[in-house]
Structure 1
Amino acid sequence: MNDQFSMPVHSADTKPRGLVHNKSKFLAFIGAHEIFTAETWKAAMVELIATGALMFTLTSCSVACLESKEVNPKLLIPFAVFITVYLFLIVMVPVSGGHMNPIFTFVAALKGVVTLSRALLYVLAQCIGSVIGFFVLKSVMEPKLAHTYSLGGCAIGDKLQSSAINPHDALLLEFSCTLLVLFVGVTVAFDKKRCKELGFPMVCFVVAASFALAVFLSITVTGRPGYAGVGLNPARCLGPALLHGGSLWNGHWIFWVGPFLACIIYYSVSIILPKKGLDWVDGEYDILNLTMGFSGTIPNNAVLNDLP
């Protein structure tokens, strides 16, 4: 253990200094100083508005596809998802990072791209934005359609519906599809060399395409009666559950636990990815390095170098 953490009883001023130092390390650990910056709150507000608009647009397009006269309208939904996500990403990424999803925010926090404080503000803004977006949608949508499609919420079926998907299968599918999006989309987005080679529009294309692919998988060969497909966005599942309720609360935890488990596994695997040819985005607040620094395993100045 470092000398600065030892507190001999014969020194009267060592303990206060140690406490102050540990407090400073903890504040640096969570990035508390960002809470007091206007830019952080502006970005969080952008996340709120963008998430609300995305929920309104994405759900409207999905319901419109299902209500179309096509023979198999489910095949239209992945295209609607791709176009909507791509447009929102290419507009919002330069403004706030274009997360609009607790999954992206959580991975960014693990990788140190954003601080824990900023990540918490983003997730809160995304959840509020989702509620607002679905509230607007519920107000303007035909009541019959809102009831038929459960306001476009994340559902695994009614408890009385025996043909609904098993909760464990839904959890596995949510985990697998989220991991697919992370490995295909986020890996490219976090590779600085690849981003430079492909260009910003193509990176947004890859991320949007990974979402569309995951949605396609979850509503076709893996589709079950009463199952609305993967959520891929816990905030998107929260809004309809709060406003519509009912069976949307059945297995609601799946749409939170599955994606966050996928984020943890993805981060763990990303640590051991081969570095050859990969210019990985590693921020100052990488959760592994921060934890090691906070415990004294690595030099403390590596943790405290960003204090204001």
Structure 2
Amino acid sequence: MASNSNVVFGDEESQLSGGTNRVQPCSSTPRNRNTIDDDGKKQNFLSLSQRLGIQDFFCLDVWRASMGELLGSAVLVFMLDTIVISTFESDTKMPNLIMSILIAVVITILLLAVVPVSGGHINPVISFSAALVGIISMSRAIIYIVAQCLGAVLGALALRAVVSSSIEDTFSLGGCTVTIIAPGPNGPVTVGLETAQALWLEIFCTFVFLFASIWMAYDHRQAKALGHVTVLSIVGLVLGLLVFISTTVTAKKGYGGAGINPARCLGPAIIRGGHLWDGHWIFWVGPTIGCVAFYVYTKIIPPKHFLAEYGFKHDFVGVVKALSNV
């Protein structure tokens, strides 16, 4: 059977006690293919297709699990963008704070709902970082990310169907923005954040998100000590805090705050279009760099943090080694 490292957040008992997750790959690597290298460490001889998890593309259970990612992302986009619009439409004196608290609560609830189905990603950042570390295969990550993007589009469509055209024009469906065109004394002017600043914020916020919360799910010792619900609550809390920081510290009109979820930014951009595409690449490149930086960090710290005694079989370094042997 598969190891317990195929999802980021799994059933607590199975993930932490060596059982199997609800979502299993279609095939597993025989144990008798392991040998001992010169340093006394076990070395897995896996083919490139096994490292990449190509079999996941042909596994019905993986595609079924991706439905959880699709629907979870759709609800996430609808709820988060609704929160953004409603808090700024209200008369509250601190809309950023209220928005961040509500976002933390919604994300925690959605993670608890999606965890039993797919492992609880609903964010390309989590799927990609999990694939780099090796917790899931790159093939599964691709399936999940595509599902998340499709779900984000559905969520943006649902939001567009229920809001008025004036609110849609004012808030751009709650999409991710770096700059906007605003009226000025001498005509329209571009206001917002500088490209470099926005990119650095994405990189920093993504790394902090992974370092301060998601790593607790990767580290079996912390996950077991804190408990399933606590870890997911911390994930929601950290995301809410990062949203508050990125929208408050910068205090720039036109900048919608750090995305930290490329799929959430993509949905409104596809449905609404226009200025939402301006600088949209930042919400993909920034998190990608943040994920790579986090992966480098995981290779520096002691390996005993990993669930697998000899590392995960889908680890990116293992993929590169398998590729070099082709």
Calculate the TM-score normalised by the size of structure 1.
0.85
Amino acid of the structure 1 residue aligned with 2:208: L
Q: Partners in 2 of 1:251 and 1:112 — Cα distance?
A: 30
- CA–CA distance in 2 between the matches of 1:102 and 1:254? 14
**Residue from 78, 82, 88 that aligns with 2:110:** 88
Amino acid of the residue matched to residue 322 of structure 2? G
Q: For 1:271, what is the secondary structure of its paired residue? A: helix
Alignment partners' CA distance in 2, 1:178 and 1:280: 23
Deviation digits for residues 144-175 of structure 1 (CA, Å, limit 9, x no counterpart): 11111111000011366343110111001111
The 8 Å contact of residues 123 and 148 in structure 2, kept in 1 or not, is answered as yes
How many angstroms apart in 2 are the aligned matches of 1:200 and 1:96?
A: 15
What residue is the counterpart of 1:9 in the other structure? none
Any conservation in 1 of the 2:52–2:319 contact (CA below 8 Å)?
no
Separation (CA, whole Å) in 1 of partners of 2:249 and 2:201: 12
Post-superposition offset of 1:27: 2.0
Letter in 1 for 2:215: T
Cα distance, 1:29 vs. partner? 2.9
In structure 1, how many angstroms separate the alpha carbons of the residues matched to 2:242 and 2:286? 14
**197, 210, 235: which one aligns with 2:263:** 235
Deviations 1:206-240 (A, max 9, x none): 11111011101111011211001011100011111
Specify the alignment match of 2:86 in structure 1: 64
CA distance in 1, matches of 2:180, 2:205: 22
Aligned length: 273
Q: Indicate the SS of the match to 2:199.
A: helix
Does 2:198 match 1:176? no
Report Cα offsets for 1:115-142 as digits up to 9, x if no partner: 1111111111100000001001001112
Q: Hey, what does 2:285 align to over in structure 1?
A: 257
**Equivalence for 1:110:** 132
Q: 2:320 aligns with which of 275, 279, 291?
A: 291
- State the TM-score, normalizing by the size of structure 2: 0.80
- Whether the 8 Å contact between 2:180 and 2:192 is mirrored in structure 1 is yes
**Identical-pair percentage:** 37
For residues 161 and 74 of structure 1, the distance between their equivalents in structure 2, rounded to whole angstroms, comes to 25
Query: 8 Å contact 1:223–1:229 — kept in the other structure?
Result: no
- 1:152 corresponds in structure 2 to 174
Q: Contact 1:186–1:207 at 8 Å: present in 2 too?
A: yes
SS in 1 for 2:264: helix
Match of 1:126 among 145, 148, 151: 148
Q: 1:139 aligns with which of 161, 173, 190?
A: 161
* Larger strand fraction of residues: 2
Structure 2, unaligned stretches of length 5 or more? 1-45, 182-187
Larger radius of gyration: 1
CA distance in 2, matches of 1:275, 1:105: 21
Q: CA RMSD in A?
A: 1.7
Deviation, structure 1 residue 293:
3.4
Runs of 4+ displaced beyond 6 Å: none
